[in-house]
Amino acid sequence: MEVTEEVVQHIAELAQLKVAASDLESLSAGMRNILELAGQMQSVNTEGVVPVSNPLDATQRLRTDEVTETDQHQLYQSMAPETEAGLYLVPRVVE
Amino acid sequence: MSDAIIQRTLAEQVRDLETGTYSSRELTEAYLGQINSRKSLNAFITVTGERAVEAAITADKRRATGEKSPLLGIPIAHKDIFCEYGVRTSAGSRMLDNFVSPYDATVVARLRDAGAISLGKTNMDEFAMGSSNESSFYGPVCNPWDTARVPGGSSGGSAVAVAAGLCSAATGTDTGGSIRQPASFCGITGLKPTYGRVSRWGMIAFASSLDQAGPMARSAEDCALLLTQMAGEDRRDSTSSAVSTEDYGASLDGSLKGLAIGICREFMDGLDSHVAGILEDCRKNLVDLGAEFKDVSLPNSHLAIPAYYIIAPAECSANLARYDGVRFGYRCESPENLEDLYQRSRSEGFGAEVKNRIMVGAFALSTGYYDAYYRKAQQIRRLIKQDFERAFSEVDMILGPTTPGSAFRIGEKVDDPKGLYLQDIYTAPANLAGLPALSMPAGFSESMPIGAQLIGNYFDEAKVLKVAHRYQQITDWHRQAPDIPGTVQ
């Protein structure tokens, strides 16, 4: 798998990161370093091996659908960059 | 007086406070003085001195009324990845430099409920991604044994705080070795418990299927006292385990007769001769204590790093998607539109290594590559887990190296990222399998500490701590401190 500048730009878009042209090379190199390491896995036959998603092979526990937390939105919004009337403010999306 | 009290182990301090040898306030102020005089180590990001002294005064009053709590009045430090109410919790990142936590992590709350006092928050690699503590937004941390060397990471600040006598114990987190590797580099004891043994609620997430909180202290006994308070099911963390916990400090003594310890063949192949010699001495000590040794094989352990460096970035790319500049954390100046706000906030808020891993993770999860990378890595993880399961049908635990060598120089591996990733070669297998593993001081190589690692079976923390404790009763590597002249071999 070749990590081209196009691949890096596409992945950056998926990850919502802005990559300056001057950083493209170092970011590609960083990705290549890890993907080369990961390449060692390809020689192993894993056909039929069940992937691990939880190291204890535990499944998601269910709980009763009842309120356990109180509303603290004012506290939680006190650290937001910008709020108004209990809402988070972002640049206008719809004209 | 203060020199002596800051060198006491946590277990000794618990007894000293009970007998009134000194007060919690004296102990807390002694540590705050030490933290202030050793600022150049950069072990702390935030020191909460006033809160700590107030809490110590309260603890002394509570003790005077006859109250008993297991850690009443004991000052500790928290890795700056644990949310603490009203205290900046940065995860070593510019992204959270302005984040004052509105709640306590379960670990923080449980230790406080047990009477412990927080001295502040320790430095760490940004979002726990690193093995040298050089990726912190707040600058590198220096190893107190040689300040030109790294302390290891990502819990480097916690390891240095304990090693340099800035506290007797600290919390850490371990995703691929982040408790054990700095413990080895700094000459302290650190335990990564079984996955799910300690709640992850309020612990800033890096890789959710690997992350686990644990204690870092001078001795195994101290780790046991902390773990007893930290461990247990938490309704707020659905991955926390319902398996019952123990009083880990109550089962430390006794013979090791009949205990079978494995030496992993693959770990010993090509191992640095100094480290191999230290492990051989450790093995002989454990034989003297009654343990029996046999060879075991973990044939897929060499695949742990390749699998880890796909799984951890993949989970990190999902976990760190929450940092969008909208609800909390860093927001860029004058965003042109919503997309610009997201992208510039993230690009300016995250450091280079974090962005690198987010990119790798997003790639490994993207259409067309998921099967070849992420699914493949999770299958390799199964093979590694099965290797351990086979080994534990023959032995009770495995003895091996924690790290390939001793602490390297600050800046030495900046241009060698693969070399830095390979620091976790002996530690990452236990994270992938979810097993408990401990690093304990076992000797010195070129005047720098070296740790030995014990990997236990699931929920066998008590057994691992007992072996380490018995070892520490007949050796004094864990008693060596960097500021005591003439103690280094």
At B182-222, the pLDDT tens digits run 999 999 999 999 999 999 999 999 999 999 999 999 999 99
Residue B236: how many other CB atoms lie within 10 Å: 14
Average pLDDT, chain A: 92
How far is B177 from B371, CA to CA, in rounded Å? Answer: 26
Per-residue pLDDT at B483: 72
Per-residue pLDDT at B103: 96
Q: Does A22 touch chain B (CB under 8 A)?
A: no
Buried b (16+ CB within 10 A) or exposed e, A23-62: beeebbebbbbbbebbeebeeeebeebeebeebbeeeeee
Q: Does A30 touch chain B (CB under 8 A)?
A: yes
Per-residue pLDDT at B419: 84
User: Which residues in chain B have Cβ-Cβ distances shorter than 8 Å to A94?
Assistant: none
What mean pLDDT comes out for the span B259-278? 96
Q: CB within 8 A of A6, min separation 6: which ones?
A: none
| B422 vs A17: which has the higher pLDDT | A17
- The whole-angstrom distance between B420's CA and the closest CA on chain A is 11
Which residue of chain A has the CA closest to B332?
A81
B256 in Cβ contact with B289 (< 8 Å): yes
Per-residue pLDDT at A1: 62
List beta partners, residue B295. Answer: B263
- B313 vs A34, A80, A88: nearest CB: A34
Say which residue the tokens 């990733």 belong to.
B421
Nearest Cα neighbor of B388 from B429, B439, B438, B424 is B429
What mean pLDDT comes out for the span B459-467? 98
Which residue of chain A has the CA closest to B96?
A79
How far is B280 from B276, CA to CA, in rounded Å? Answer: 6
Whether pTM > 0.95 for this model: the answer is yes
Question: What value of ipTM does the predicted structure carry?
Answer: 0.95
Please report which residue ranges of B187-272 form alpha helices under DSSP H. Answer: 220-230, 265-268
- B335 vs A14, A53, A91: nearest CB: A91
Angle at B376 between CA B398 and CA B126, to 5 degrees: 70
Whether residues B360 and A31 touch (CB distance < 8 A) is answered with: yes
* DSSP-assigned letters across all residues of B9-36: -HHHHHHHHHHTSS-HHHHHHHHHHHHH
Whether residues B380 and A38 touch (CB distance < 8 A) is answered with: no
Whether residues B341 and A91 touch (CB distance < 8 A) is answered with: yes
- A38 vs B310, B324, B350: nearest CB: B310
What mean pLDDT comes out for the span B5-14? 96
Which residue of chain B has the CA closest to A79?
B328
Strands (E), chain A: 83-84, 87-88
Per-residue DSSP letter, B332? -
Nearest Cα neighbor of B394 from B468, B288, B297, B283 is B297
Express as a percent the part of chain B with pLDDT over 70.
98
pLDDT, tens digit, for every residue of B18-68?
999 999 999 999 999 999 999 999 999 999 999 999 999 999 999 999 999
User: Is residue B90 pLDDT above 80, yes or no?
Assistant: yes
- A41 vs B306, B321, B327: nearest CB: B306
Per-residue pLDDT at B220: 98
- The whole-angstrom distance between A79's CA and the closest CA on chain B is 6
pLDDT, tens digit, for every residue of B303-331?
999 999 999 999 999 999 999 999 999 99
Structure tokens at B146: 């040689």
User: Which residues in chain B have Cβ-Cβ distances shorter than 8 Å to A49?
Assistant: 379, 382-383
Strands (E), B336-472: 397-401, 437-445, 448-456
Whether residues B327 and A16 touch (CB distance < 8 A) is answered with: no
User: Which residues in chain A have Cβ-Cβ distances shorter than 8 Å to B99?
Assistant: 79
- The whole-angstrom distance between A12's CA and the closest CA on chain B is 7
Per-residue pLDDT at B2: 67
Which residue of chain B has the CA closest to A72?
B102
Which residue of chain B has the CA closest to A55?
B434
Q: CB within 8 A of A15, min separation 6: which ones?
A: B317, B346, B358, B359, B361, B362
Total beta-carbon pairs less than 8 A apart between chain A and chain B:
176
Per-residue pLDDT at B417: 82
User: Is residue B487 pLDDT above 50, yes or no?
Assistant: no
How buried is A7 (Cβ within 10 angstroms: 0-12 exposed, 13-18 middle, 19+ buried)?
middle
First to last CA, chain B: 27
User: Is residue B262 pLDDT above 70, yes or no?
Assistant: yes
User: Which residues in chain A have Cβ-Cβ distances shorter than 8 Å to B306?
Assistant: 37-41
User: Mapping DSSP to helix (H, G, I), strand (E, B) and coil, where does residue B226 land?
Assistant: helix
Q: Does A17 touch chain B (CB under 8 A)?
A: yes
Per-residue DSSP letter, B231? B
Which residue of chain A has the CA closest to B388?
A55
Per-residue pLDDT at B1: 54
Per-residue pLDDT at A61: 83
- B355 vs A27, A36, A90: nearest CB: A27
User: Is residue B69 pLDDT above 60, yes or no?
Assistant: yes
pLDDT band at B359 (very low <50, low <70, confident <90, very high): very high
B135 in Cβ contact with B126 (< 8 Å): yes
- The whole-angstrom distance between A34's CA and the closest CA on chain B is 7
User: Which residues in chain A have Cβ-Cβ distances shorter than 8 Å to B356?
Assistant: 27, 30-31, 34
pLDDT band at B374 (very low <50, low <70, confident <90, very high): very high
Per-residue pLDDT at B430: 98
Which of A1, A56, A73 is the best mutation test for B, with the most CBs of B within 10 A? Answer: A56
How far is B157 from B163, CA to CA, in rounded Å? Answer: 10
Whether residues A26 and B352 touch (CB distance < 8 A) is answered with: yes
Structure tokens at B442: 């076992």
pLDDT band at B488 (very low <50, low <70, confident <90, very high): very low
User: Mapping DSSP to helix (H, G, I), strand (E, B) and coil, where does residue B230 land?
Assistant: helix
User: Mapping DSSP to helix (H, G, I), strand (E, B) and coil, where does residue B294 land?
Assistant: strand
User: Which residues in chain A have Cβ-Cβ distances shorter than 8 Å to B432?
Assistant: 52, 55
Structure tokens at B158: 């916690």
- The whole-angstrom distance between B167's CA and the closest CA on chain A is 31
Q: CB within 8 A of A4, min separation 6: which ones?
A: A28
Catalytically annotated residues of B: 79, 154, 178
Structure tokens at B290: 């009654």
User: Is residue A44 pLDDT above 90, yes or no?
Assistant: yes
Per-residue pLDDT at B414: 84
- A91 vs B317, B338, B418: nearest CB: B338
- A38 vs B344, B358, B373: nearest CB: B373
